[in-house]
């Protein structure tokens, strides 16, 4: 049996929606009068899906969707919409609602929508459960010099490490910062050969030159190579650019506090501080980052 929580300040509407859903023998239905009461009910007994009205006192449907996304991202929300609520519906969908059903077609469309969302949610839970059973993963990427690819790659690697339960939440953030610095170094300083000294110049000189070189030879032909090895003991990231490299002897000492104000060494400083091992190849165009794995589960 799947539990559906119906949220509406109208007793008539709650009864009507509950009756529609209760007609399906695989569903049980609970109800709440507004978003505040819904969150209290969820804290007591989590439902599989929330079906919510948008206009309610105390906490409306939009606010409830935002709180669900923050506190219970695994619980999908379906909106019950009425004519004239198009703008708030669109906003709620952007906030994380899974779907919506207009009040005019509730009886026809709500049960099928709920069952479809339940099936998709079950598939996602099964996928996450499967990922937690994965003990190792080897991934390779070849990236163009596109700054927008960096956060997307980091998010993907975050998801992999999180679902495999390899790293604590606090360390996951620090690893992400280190990866961002390493990938940015490979992009801007390695492939595009833009000097950190330009960051101090007015008018955005650093990014103007980078944008210009993205479409100029030889810079535009260079790529960033990323090899990732995730295991129960360690997470290893090898990031190589196709630029001329740099002198490893100029790397800052992460134990020297005077280097904190050195803008040009900030990225390397963060990498060395947040990770267990950071090493470069002889050419200075490849960095290997290693973090020993300790998950929240194993440390609790």
Report whether the peptide linkage leading into residue 218 is cis, meaning its omega lies within 30 degrees of zero.
yes
Sheet holding 99-102, edge to edge: 27-32, 2-7, 49-53, 77-81, 99-102
Q: 251 falls in which pLDDT band (50, 70, 90)?
A: low
For 185-211, what is each residue's pLDDT tens digit? 999 999 999 988 787 777 889 999 999
176: pLDDT strictly greater than 70? yes
For 60-99, what is each residue's pLDDT tens digit? 999 999 999 989 988 999 999 887 677 878 888 888 899 9
Sheet holding 224-231, edge to edge: 136-143, 224-231, 234-240, 286-292, 277-280
239: pLDDT strictly greater than 80? yes
Residue ranges matching CATH 3.40.50.2300 in the chain? 2-130
Domain 2-130 has CATH 3.40.50.150: no
Place of tokens 């709500």: 110
For 19-64, what is each residue's pLDDT tens digit? 999 888 789 999 999 999 999 999 999 999 999 999 999 999 999 9
Q: 253 falls in which pLDDT band (50, 70, 90)?
A: low
| Local structure of residue 57 (DSSP, 8 states) | S
Q: CB-based contacts of 98: which residues, under 8 Å, 6+ apart?
A: 76, 77, 78, 117, 120
Total Cβ atoms within 10 A of residue 61: 30
Could you tell me the end-to-end alpha-carbon distance of the chain, in angstroms, rounded to an integer? 32
Q: What is the DSSP string of 5-23?
A: EEE-S-HHHHHHHHHHHHT
179: pLDDT strictly greater than 90? yes
Domain 136-299 has CATH 3.30.565.10: yes
pTM for this prediction: 0.64
Q: What percent of the chain has pLDDT over 70?
A: 91
| Alpha carbons 61 and 237: distance in angstroms, whole number | 42
* Whether 195 contacts 246, CB under 8 Å: no
Q: 250 falls in which pLDDT band (50, 70, 90)?
A: low
């Amino acid at each position: 049996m799947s539990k559906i929580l119906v949220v509406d300040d109208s007793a008539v509407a709650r009864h009507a929606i509950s009756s529609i859903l209760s007609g399906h023998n695989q569903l049980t239905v609970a109800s709440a009068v507004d978003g505040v009461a819904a969150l209290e009910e969820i804290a007591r007994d989590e439902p599989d899906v929330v079906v919510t009205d948008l206009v309610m006192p105390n906490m409306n449907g939009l606010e409830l969707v935002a709180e669900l996304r923050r506190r219970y991202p695994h619980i999908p929300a379906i909106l019950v919409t009425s004519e004239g609520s198009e703008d708030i519906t669109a906003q709620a969908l952007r906030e994380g609602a899974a779907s919506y059903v207009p009040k005019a077609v509730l009886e026809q469309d709500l049960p099928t929508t709920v069952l479809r969302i339940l099936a998709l949610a079950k598939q996602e839970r099964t996928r996450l459960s499967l990922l937690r059973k994965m003990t190792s993963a080897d991934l390779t990427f070849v990236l163009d010099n596109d700054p927008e690819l960096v956060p997307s790659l980091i998010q993907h690697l975050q998801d992999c490490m999180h679902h495999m339960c390899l790293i604590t939440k606090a360390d996951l953030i620090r690893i992400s910062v280190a990866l961002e610095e390493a990938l940015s170094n490979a992009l801007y300083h390695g492939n595009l050969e833009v000097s950190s000294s330009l960051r101090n110049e007015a008018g955005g000189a650093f990014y103007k030159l980078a944008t210009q070189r993205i479409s100029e030879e030889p810079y535009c032909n260079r790529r960033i190579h990323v090899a990732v090895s995730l295991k129960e003991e360690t997470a290893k990231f090898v990031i190589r650019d196709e630029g001329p490299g740099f002198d490893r002897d100029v790397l800052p000492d992460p134990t020297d506090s005077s280097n904190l104000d050195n803008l040009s060494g900030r990225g390397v400083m963060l990498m060395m501080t947040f990770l267990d091992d950071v090493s470069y190849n002889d050419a200075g165009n490849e960095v290997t980052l290693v973090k020993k794995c300790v998950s929240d589960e194993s440390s609790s």
